[in-house]
Amino acid sequence: MTPPSSTLRAADQIAYLDQAAASDPGRQYKQQLLTALDLRPGHVVLDVGCGPGTDLPALANAVGDRGAVIGIDHDPAMLEQAQQRTAAHTHVTVRAGDAHALPLDDASIDRARTDRVLQHLTDPRQALAELRRVVRPGGLVALAEPDWDTLAIDAADTATSRAYTRYVTSKVVRNAAIGRQLGRLLNDVGFEVASIQATVAMFHDYQAADAILRMPAVAQRAWQSGALDENAARTWLTSLTNGPFLAAFTFFTAIGRVPTTNS
Ligand SMILES: C[S@@+](CC[C@H](N)C(=O)[O-])C[C@H]1O[C@@H](n2cnc3c(N)ncnc32)[C@H](O)[C@@H]1O
């Protein structure tokens, strides 16, 4: 979920992803995706942009030893961590690959998921077209992406809150509005859209929000680039840690189905 994750060192990024997965909103939407995938014993399931293997054990348990789990990522540090975390699961394979050109055969996958990956890609539509190619007729994909345009951080200095969100959407996250686009993009590449859900990730606790949003680091980048006034941003940051805190953003999940020939 984090805007600045692309700037973190690998170890920090892995720690960040673990924190996000363990947060209340993180656990909720990941369970929601797992349920929506309707995994059965024997299924072949793909996680594109699997990161440090966050979701691979749950997928492995759901498909059982007769099934197979494939995790794909383009980052060697993530792949190494994913391999370590799934060493006990013989039916999990972790592979290097690009979401834009999956190293998989046509219609070879029963279920696929991608979780906060499309927001970073140069061409999310191409990545979805690849999912459409590799998932078999009747198969399902589950997508989860934030919509950073909706990031609302309460502060007396509303102008700095707005400028901060503008900085995140224009300079930090490549596809900041991807959340709201999921249904349209699924439709464009030939999926039937089975469901779209929007939930609000809301934080009343500064520390919990900061674990996800990394506000001081992002604000510093913003004032160093001239997007925020440094004094105003420092005062804004201090104000966030004093008194009641509220930050929220909308998080979208979408389920797509590959049409069967007679549907
Ligand atoms: C925010 S992390 C999410 C990781 C994991 N899905 C999770 O929920 O913990 C995004 C992941 O996408 C991977 N990624 C980004 N661009 C990619 C690409 N073009 N092909 C494959 N993986 C990519 C990154 O290396 C990173 O591991």
Which residue of 120, 141, 214 sits with most ligand 1 atoms within 8 Å of its CB, as the best mutation to test the pocket? 120
Domains of the chain: 3-147+174-202+252-257 (3.40.50.150)
Q: How far is the CA of 238 from the centre of ligand 1 (A)?
A: 32
- Token pair 């464009």 in the structure block, residue: 188
Q: Whose CA is nearest to atom 14 of ligand 1?
A: 49
Q: Whose CA is nearest to atom 12 of ligand 1?
A: 49
Q: From CA 129, how far away is CA 224, in angstroms rounded?
A: 38
The residues, any chain, with a CB within 8 Å of residue 42's CB and separated by 6 or more, are 63, 64, 66, 67
Q: What is the pLDDT of residues 71-113, one digit of tens each?
A: 999 999 999 999 999 999 999 999 999 999 999 999 999 999 9
Q: From CA 215, how far away is CA 47, in angstroms rounded?
A: 29
> Residue 183: which of 263, 102, 252 has the closest Cα?
252
Report strand pairing: 109-115 vs 92-96: unpaired
Q: What is the pLDDT of residues 179-222, one digit of tens each?
A: 999 999 999 999 999 999 999 999 999 998 998 899 999 999 99
> Residue 91: which of 47, 140, 141, 42 has the closest Cα?
42
The predicted pLDDT at position 8 comes to 64
